[in-house]
Structure 1
């Protein structure tokens, strides 16, 4: 069955968290996201948004291994912003053939992997022998 009608509206990663209130504070105060909905007393799920891109934070699904989320960015400014805000750096920026990327950890160990276009004037980490 084929259709020219768009079926998927969007995709939103769901990040498992152990304490929704603490996670909302981390994502809004350290990473600059804004709370869109949820997070009130008794809530186990919410939506945070930055620059039109959303993440769901969910306490309701029980323990889970850390998840990874790729976040493509327009410039390297976010690297320094998050680092200066005290977000835990999991990996300093590296230049790969597919992206110039850095990894951060949230308070539950989930990985926020952010990257820009690769730097053309630096060697690629995945091509060094």
Structure 2
């Protein structure tokens, strides 16, 4: 098994495929019926900071928390119902904080067999946020 792992690493290394480049970040672009409403939900309820908006009224905008950015686009990109996985330090504390602010909670935090404690949150455009943290495995 270790030999196979080393072989796969060498097959897919940057030196073997020099056209591959390091990806510095991935920023999801979520469909939004109303960018102002989306930014308000993510900032006032979920704890993000508004980063910027484009146009008046906004047709594109960004929200930021730590090193994580999410873009919102009115009508042109994507569709409702995208799922995102957000890893946090403590999902139970986050749950309490956002529940008090009116978050749309689909399921409260619970331990999962894949060694995560997770909850599901829905945003006004129908996107689902799978929020959780790692738990110890036996």
Which TM-score bucket, shorter chain as reference?
0.7 to 0.9
Instruction: Please state how far the C-alpha of 1:120 moved relative to its aligned partner.
Output: 5.4
Q: 1:84-95 alignment to 2 at 5 Å? A: 84-95=100-111
Write out aligned runs for 1:13-92 (5 A).
13-61=28-76, 64-76=79-91, 77-92=93-108
Distance in 2 separating the partners of 1:89 and 1:20: 21
**Change in CA separation of 1:16 and 1:4 when aligned onto 2, cut-off 3 Å:** closer
Structure 2 residue ranges without an equivalent (≥5): 1-15
Give the drift of 1:33. 0.8
User: Structure 2 residue aligned with 1:106, among 90, 101, 123?
Assistant: 123
- Deviation of 1:5 after TM superposition, in Å, equals 7.4
After alignment, is 55-64 or 69-78 more displaced? 55-64
Whole-Å separation in 2 of the counterparts to 1:30 and 1:67: 19
1:118 corresponds to: 135
- The TM-score normalised by the length of structure 1 is 0.81
Which has more helix, going by share of residues?
A: 2
CA distance in 1, matches of 2:36, 2:50: 11
RMSD: 2.3
Q: Which has the larger radius of gyration?
A: 2
Aligned residues: 121
Is the contact made by 1:101 and 1:115 (CA closer than 8 Å) also made in structure 2? yes
